[in-house]
Structures are given as structure tokens and as C-alpha cells.
Amino acid sequence: MTLKTGDAEQQVLETTYWWGVPTLFRCPHDPDLTNCDIGLVGIPHSAGNGTTEHDQHLGPRAVRNVSPNARRVHNGFGLSPWETCRINDLGDVPLPELNNNEMCIERMTEYFKKVSAAGVRPVSIGGDHGITGGVLQGLAGPGSKLTNDQPVALLHLDAHTDTYDQLDHFLGAKKSAAHWGSYLVRQGHVDATKSVQIGLRGNTRSLDWLQPSYDLGYEVITMDRYREIGAAKCCDIIRERIGDAPLYITFDLDCLDPTIAPAVSNLEAGCRGFNIDEAVELVQSVRGLNVVGGDVVCLMPTKDQPNNITSMVAAAVMFEIISLIADRHSANA
């Protein structure tokens, strides 16, 4: 006897994380850039952050495992991104020199040059925060079809500035998780005068830790300032700052409080971070703007709870970025 699975049963199976071959949000695995509008990308990289166990490269696999159980529709936007756009899991960026940070960054750059040339808007899961340097070297600035040769504005949610110019290298890595926020500005891939760094906090090592970001031209909103002026004012600052520039969202999970996302590198437990609703409100503040891509970084699956809560949070943030792109795509269709 042949057992047939109806549409309803199939839908249940496809939203069950432990069934089937894992892809990001159960999207088709198709590396052909001509077949999608939004490309989901894994970047299994961990050589750019030498201060923690090098397990960030396991992040993409962990999110693939849990993301089928993530939300399928965005109630606030009133859309299903999967029905609005062609969205595929493009697979992982090939990184055969995994322990060589500088080679990995260049591999990412070449990969995302092809993504940009195809006009595909990528949403990536890392990986340490050094991946943002590799992505934007390929995605933005001179020669970029996706940004019309312009640098991107950044919405950068993080506990740390990642503009540590006082360090020549970060425990051996030069284009590291600690440096991308500055060298991308100097190279012309990021316009700091249109960018916002928000959520900065923690166990600082010097009293002038924010100065490099100020010198580069970033708008800096520390957690103290966020609490002082409130979420609504912060959202206004973000939208006014970015304007009509092509926008890239980079979300370091350590901007969240450790009680929300315990499995991240460089935990900052000394003062409270965002809860998930606060962080999502900030991400959603750029609804309608020209989001050309985004990433979620610093997931450490080997540090997670048995229920994989941090991986689920990472998937939830990815879903928000995907939905922002799909929402604008729908409005412009």
C-alpha cells in the first residue's frame, strides 16, 4: 500500500525542524544566482575572533537545523516572504583555508561580488563578525550593481564597536572581527556618516573605547543612551541618518542580553542588553528603506542550551531581515 501525504500533512512536516534535509527556512537549496531575489547564505568562519573558542563556524549548520520551525508569515507586515520573493538557500561560502582569516575574507569578497553582480540581496548567517568585512568588500561600493557603486549605510547592532584601530591585528587576524567596522569605511564600502552603531555596552578596557567610531563618523548609541532617550527616538535617529542610502543590517547576537542569547562569543554579562522585542523594534524601524542585505553573527552552538534557544533567536532575526527585503520588494512590484 502507498501512503500519500496531503497538502496539510506536508505543511506540518515542512515546519518540523527534525524532518527532512535541513536548509535555511526549508527553502530550496539552489546555488544558481539567477533563480532568486533573496539568497540565504551560510558563512562558516571562525578565524577572525581569537578571543573565544573557535566554534562560530558551526552557526550556519545550527540555524539550518532549527529554522524550519521558525515563523512562516510576518503578521506585522501582513506577508509571507516565501510567496512574495524567490528565496533560496545558496549554500555555504567555500572556505578551504578555514584557519587563514585573510584568505577567508578574500574568498567571501569574491563570492559576494558574484552575488552583487546578479542583483541578489543576501541574508547571511555566520560565523564571527569578521564576515561582514568580507561580505561588504564584495557587495558594496565601487563596481557594485546592487548599490549602484555607492557605499552602504550600516545599521549595526552590537555590544562592541568593532573599530579597534589601536590594534594592528586581533591575535593574528588583521581583517578581523575587531577591525571590519573601520577598514570598510576607509576603503569606501561603508559610509559611516549615514550609519548607526547601537547597543554598545560592556566590560570596556579603556575610557576612550568609543573614540575610533566617533572619528570615523558613526552615530553611536550606547545602551545607556538608548535607555535615556528611548526606543522611539532611537528609531527616528536611525531612519533620519540612513535616509535613502542602500542599507546593510549587521546583527551581532551579543547585543542581546545573555539571558536571551546565551550562546554567543564575547558575552557581555556586566550590564543588561536588549531583549528580543527591543532588538526587533530597532530592526523593523528601517521598514521601507533600501535594505540590500544583512547578516547575523557570533552564534556559538556548542555553548547553547539543549533546546537550541540561541539558534532559534538567530533564525528569528534572520526572518526579520528577510521580511524587510520582501516587504519592499512587494511594495515595488
Instruction: Return the SS3 of 123.
Output: strand
Q: Is residue 141 part of a domain?
A: yes
Alpha-carbon separation of residue 143 from 246, 271, 333 (angstroms)? 14, 42, 26
- Residue 103: Cβ within 10 Å count: 14
3-state helix, strand, coil in the chain (%, to 5): 40, 15, 45
User: Could you tell me if residue 258 is inside a domain?
Assistant: yes
What is the per-residue burial (b if ≥16 Cβ within 10 Å, else e) of 37-61?
bbbbbbbbbbbbbbebebbbbbbbe
19 assigned to some structural domain: no
Report pLDDT digits (tens) over 71-98.
889 999 999 999 999 999 999 999 998 8
The grid coordinates of residue 94 equal 567555500
Taking 90 as the threshold, does the pLDDT of residue 241 lie above it?
Answer: yes
Q: What is the pLDDT of residues 272-322, one digit of tens each?
A: 999 999 999 999 999 999 999 999 999 999 999 999 999 999 999 999 999
User: Which of these, 137, 130, 211, 127, lies nearest to 171 by C-alpha position?
Assistant: 130
Average pLDDT over residues 110-118: 97
Terminal CA-CA length for the chain: 46
In the beta sheet, which residues pair with residue 156? 197, 250
For residue 15, being part of any structural domain is answered with no
pLDDT at 3: 44
> Can you give the pTM of this predicted structure?
0.94
**In the prediction, which pLDDT does 52 show?**
60
Q: Which segments of 131-260 are extended strands (E)?
A: 153-157, 196-200, 219-222, 247-252
In CATH, what number is assigned to the domain containing residue 313? 3.40.800.10
pLDDT band (50, 70, 90) for residue 207: confident
- The residues facing 173 across adjacent strands are 170
For residue 53, what pLDDT is reported?
Answer: 65
Asked whether the beta carbons of 116 and 138 are under 8 A apart, the reply is: yes
In a domain, 13, yes or no: no
Please, how many CA atoms are within 13 Å of residue 249, restricted to the half-sphere of its CB?
A: 33
pLDDT of 292 = 98
pLDDT of residue 121: 98
Give domain status of residue 111, yes or no.
yes
> Is residue 24 included in any domain, yes or no?
no
Q: Average pLDDT in the 38-55 region?
A: 83
Separation of CA 40 from chain center: 11
**What does the alpha-carbon distance between residue 312 and residue 293 come to, in Å, rounded to a whole number?**
20
Number of domain units in the chain? 1
Residue 204 domain flag? yes
- Domain range holding 267? 39-332
Spatial separation of the C-alpha atoms in residues 314 and 125, rounded to whole Å = 8
Position 108, amino acid? M
Q: Count the neighbouring beta carbons within 10 Å of the beta carbon of residue 329.
A: 18
State pLDDT tens for residues 124-181.
999 999 999 999 999 999 999 999 999 999 999 999 988 887 777 666 667 866 789 9
Please tell me the predicted confidence (pLDDT) of residue 71.
Answer: 83
Q: Is the pLDDT of residue 20 over 90?
A: no
In the structure grid, which three cell numbers stand for residue 15, read together?
Answer: 515546519
Q: Which residue in the block uniquely carries the three cell numbers 554579562?
A: 269
Q: Strand 153-157 to strand 247-252: parallel, antiparallel, or no bridges (unpaired)?
A: parallel
| Backbone torsions φ then ψ of 10, nearest 5 degrees | -65, -40
